[in-house]
Amino acid sequence: MRALVNAVKTGLTEIWAHKMRSVLSFLAIAAGSVVFIEAFSAIFSTYERMEKQKAVSGMARLKISQNYSKTYSSPDDYVPPPVITYEDVLHLREKMPELYMVSPEGRDWHNVLEYGGQRVTSSLMGVTPEWAKRDFVYTLKGRFLGWHDVENKLRVCVLVKKAAPPPGNSFDKTMMKKYNFSGGFDTLVAHNDLLGKAVKIDGITFMVIGILEELPYSKRPNTILGRSQEYKILAPVTTLSHYGFIGSYQSLDVNIDTGSEQDFDESLRRINNFLKIRFGDGDFFIVENQLELIRDRISESLKSSLVTISLGMLAFIAGGIGIMNVTLATVFARTREIGIRRAVGASRGDIMLQFIVEAVMLGLIGGVLGSALGYFWGVPVKVMLAMDPSHIKPWMPLVSVLIAAFTAFAFAIYPAWVAAGLKPADALRAE
């Protein structure tokens, strides 16, 4: 222990005596630490988003929608496209009761909502209670749509109260203003308590039974698939079909969660067979494999992180080579000192310990500096630049510092071995 303490004191003295050389030695190590922390946080963020995807949106997802290219590919042989109706959805649910979610959606655009003498433009979406099983990133006031509402085609609706927009640059704000046709609706819902009130949608009276408030962007789950589409007014899909909001020519999109990644392929095969049997030709519909999309995005994120880790390794290796070079130069510059220490009884192990400790201290200082810079870049700087902050956990800087210290240790072994191998008589004769 005493030898280690003396080695630390000697190392600190040597580092302080050659400040510029020392700074240049651990800068590359610091750069490697910064890159490693960024890569670690990216990998951790990917798996964190995957877990949120499982909890909020599900992994085993797919979507059925019309294949417009099949319908309109030939101008001379036009075929009226088949449509998926609510009865088709019920039949699919009956055939495959093991599916976790079968959520039909039918949209009607540019509806006019009237309340208190105000008329605002919005959009109407027909859904069922199954809609709330996934992507429910809201707080609910009142109640959501129930099966009683759907089965009896009741004129009830749920309004979505939009959250404040995230901070963005002037271009993003300009685009939001340009395409935000429902700004009046958002203002109306934000400034009026419409729960339990009667509103008119395209002249037909609906009762507002619930208000869905979007979570703030800072609290919204960051899933692999990103944000779900925006909704304004939700009503029973049967009601919208009955009152003509959804025409007989309009096909419902069907969002499905099979509930199990293991059974996903088999469920996908059975759904395709259902479409072929029900409509005679499954090619009239596209079954979007969202599970494959999720896997692709996870793979891309991990590949990007591995590339970043490779760059960090190169920075560490470059730093290690620099430390080895500096340590070798130090050995030859201090040959006479080594001879004196050997002459007064220092062992080869003591000489090796001295130079290894000095090199490891360079690595530790570089690792600590790099960890501090990595945190500074990953959190405050990114926030100031309106970027998503890195998900830095306490263990990440610690691992980075340990890797930096190990790198310095590995590259210091050879110079330390050279120093320990000097014969005392030869070392004492060195000028």
> What digits encode the pLDDT tens for the residues 109-141?
889 999 999 999 999 999 999 999 988 889 999
What are 329-374's pLDDT values in tens digits? 777 777 777 777 777 777 788 788 888 888 888 888 888 888 888 8
Q: How far is it, in rounded angstroms, from Cα 301 to Cα 295?
A: 10
Are 345 and 416 members of one domain? Answer: yes
Tokens of 362: 């360079």
Where are the strands (E) in 204-324, listed by range? 204-214, 233-236, 253-257, 285-289
Question: Is residue 185 in some structural domain?
Answer: yes
Q: Is the pLDDT of residue 426 over 60?
A: no
Exposure pattern of 192-204 as b/e (b: 16+ CB <10 Å)? Answer: eebeeeebebeee
Domain boundary among 250, 283, 316: 250
Is residue 392 within 8 A of residue 378, CB to CB? The reply is yes
DSSP 378-410: IIIIHHHTT-PPP---THHHHHHHHHHHHHHHH
Where are the strands (E) in 116-203, listed by range? 118-127, 138-142, 156-161, 198-201
State the Cα torsion 323-329-331-336 to the nearest 10°. -160
Are 235 and 190 members of one domain? Answer: yes
Question: Is residue 399 in some structural domain?
Answer: yes
State pTM to two decimals: 0.73
Tokens of 393: 């956990």
pLDDT given for residue 220 in this prediction: 72
Tokens of 138: 């809201």
Question: Is residue 266 in some structural domain?
Answer: no
Question: Is residue 183 in some structural domain?
Answer: yes
Are 244 and 329 members of one domain? Answer: no
Is residue 328 within 8 A of residue 418, CB to CB? The reply is yes
β pairing state of 233-236 and 156-161 = antiparallel
Domain boundary among 226, 250, 274: 250
Question: Is residue 61 in some structural domain?
Answer: no
Are 244 and 119 members of one domain? Answer: yes
Label residue 38 exposed, middle or buried (CB < 10 Å: 0-12, 13-18, 19+): buried
Q: Is the pLDDT of residue 424 over 80?
A: no
pLDDT given for residue 227 in this prediction: 56
What's the total number of domains in the chain?
A: 2
Across the chain, mean pLDDT equals 83
Are 239 and 105 members of one domain? Answer: yes
Question: Is residue 130 in some structural domain?
Answer: yes
What are 377-418's pLDDT values in tens digits? 877 877 777 677 777 888 888 888 888 888 888 888 888 888
Q: How far is it, in rounded angstroms, from Cα 370 to Cα 196?
A: 57
Structural domain span for residue 180 = 85-250
Question: Is residue 368 in some structural domain?
Answer: yes
Are 44 and 101 members of one domain? Answer: no
